[in-house]
Copies of this chain bind each other. A is one copy, B any other.
Amino acid sequence: MGWMDTSVPFGDSMTTNNKKYHAPNMQKLADEGVRFTNAYVNPVCTPTRTSILCGLSAVRTHITNWTNTPANQPTDYPDSILQFPVWNINGLSPTPHPNAFQATPFTEILKNEGYFTIHVGKAHWGSQSTPGSDPLNFGFLTNVGGTSIGHPQSYYGKNNFGNKAGSITHWAIPGLQEFYDKDIFLTVALTQKAIQLMSGSIVQRKPFFLNFGHYAIHTPIQPDYRYFEKYLMNGLDSTEAAYASLVEGMDKSLGDIMHFLKSKGQEDNTIIIFLSDNGGLTNSSRGGTRNTHNLPLRSGKGSVYEGGIKVPMIVKWPKMVRSGTKTNHHMMAEDIFPTILEMAGAKFTASSIDGKSLVPVLKNPAYTDTLRNLIFHYPHRWTKNEDEGIAWASALRRGDWKLVYLMKEQKLELYNIAKDQGEKVNLADKYPSQELTMAKIMGDELRSKNAQMPIWKKTGKKVAWPDQLIK
């Protein structure tokens, strides 16, 4: 879900893209919580999802790309010039496993603190045949539908979510048999199970943590027919209309959960964190016109330009966060780990992770840190497209500035995001000392986190560090 894939503006004003969508429940959540206008994640899903779970930068975990369903199979698109590095293609694992990064998830700590830890929906932390494919191995006490897959085979109960004999692939959603052959959308089925499991915890007067990873919004972009017609009538093409219906279905789920919490008297007792795992899709499978879906942000999923890494984020913390506020604090996916543990009053070693707790920001709206080094690293080629930063790139956000390193082009670009969020004007030539400073910081961030660089196929040499381009 991209920064613009909602009627709730996370920028300064409502944009043309915002106006395509209806997300009344996100708006309600924003009205009751705080909007993060500078929430960053990785360009694709698994790196963000695993960073959330383990509190570490994807640069450090070497889970820099999305993980495949079968084990030991990279997902990198073939390239004749650059060779992707040996990354952790099996994702995250709670125990040592080949080609996987081992870490303790915050959910294990929450479980040990007495929380009923619920996973519902997409997990996509590790490949099948590895411990990372099962949420139960990451401290969850119950799991519905979460496994190694990154998207569903089908969103439709009528299609058994992909489990129809003869056409089953490894993307078929497990464990939702009760909805087979029924006219129910995956988003709804998962919401029912999430509510059921929260209910069970509430009956027992036990604290719960629900990790609700909606499969929506993701390919296959199949219409959620509850909302599809409306978007067609609004003039969206069928793919864009289907996408918008996925958004509104997800939004409805959020509303159902908020309503449920209220009905159980748990509204003031429950923190809600809303976050996407990568920027909005903006390639040919999205419908509409490529590279427009995240405007005014540039590019989209797969890219280190803002469209690929800036996402909607809302936190509702009743009685703690002032309703309807915004913060321009710079946050990154790995901050979720220490934030949730601090919220829960759980002990952890802050120095062992990269994430920084957002609790100070949430408790005190005057507190922001925009001078953090947010580092993005994608030493991969995602798809056929390589333009618009959707391959072989790193980026550094710090203060108003952003440095983009296009590896294949061996080029550095400098943007002032505060003034140019669309990354239209490359200021590298105009501010060479700023470029140098940023390149050095980026180089230090990458080296200190043991970043892996692609290899030039012709020479067998590693791609240079960004600061080496200047010296």
Contact = CB atoms under 8 A, between A and B. Distances in A.
A461 interface: no
B196 A129 contact: no
A111 B177 contact: no
Given A141-B197, A141-B200, A203-B112, A133 B177 contact: yes
Interface string A119-163: 000000000111111101100011110011000000000000001
Nearest to A139: B200
A122 to B, nearest CB: 13
A180 interface: yes
A111 B200 CA distance: 7
Given A129-B177, A178-B131, A204 B114 contact: yes
Nearest to A111: B200
A178 B137 contact: yes
Nearest to A128: B177
Interface string A162-191: 010100111000111111111000000000
A209 interface: no
Q: Within the oligomer, what is the number of copies of this chain?
A: 2
Contact of A181 (B129, B132, B179, B197): B129
A193 interface: yes
Contacts of A143: 142, 175
B141 A181 contact: no
A265 to B, nearest CB: 17
A129 B175 contact: no
A203 B110 CA distance: 11
Most interface-central of A148, A168, A179 (chain B CB within 10 A): A168
Contacts of A378: none
A71 interface: yes
A3 interface: no
Given A174-B175, A203-B111, A204-B114, A182 B129 contact: yes
Nearest to A144: B136
B170 A165 contact: yes
A169 B160 CA distance: 13
- Chain B CB within 10 A, most for which of A111, A112, A136, A177: A177
Contacts of A193: 136
Contacts of A71: 181
A178 B133 contact: yes
Given A136-B144, A168-B168, A169-B165, A128 B200 contact: no
A116 interface: yes
A112 B197 CA distance: 12
Interface in A84-132: 111-112, 114, 116, 128-132
Nearest to A170: B165
Nearest to A71: B181
A147 B170 contact: no
A175 B133 CA distance: 9
A43 to B, nearest CB: 26
A399 to B, nearest CB: 43
A280 to B, nearest CB: 29
Nearest to A142: B142
Interface in A237-269: none
Contact of A116 (B133, B141, B148, B163): B141
Contacts of A129: 177-182
A180 B134 CA distance: 12
A144 B136 CA distance: 10
Contact of A177 (B134, B142, B203): B134
Contact of A128 (B116, B141, B142, B178): B178
Given A114-B204, A203-B112, A147 B177 contact: yes
Contacts of A134: 175-178
A6 to B, nearest CB: 31
Given A141-B201, A165-B168, 9 more contacts: A114-B204, A128-B178, A129-B177, A129-B178, A129-B180, A133-B177, A141-B200, A147-B175, A147-B177
8 contacts: A129-B178, A129-B179, A129-B180, A132-B178, A134-B178, A137-B178, A143-B175, A147-B177
- Enumerate the 4 nearest inter-chain pairs by beta-carbon distance, A residue then B residue, closest first: A142-B142, A174-B174, A128-B177, A133-B177
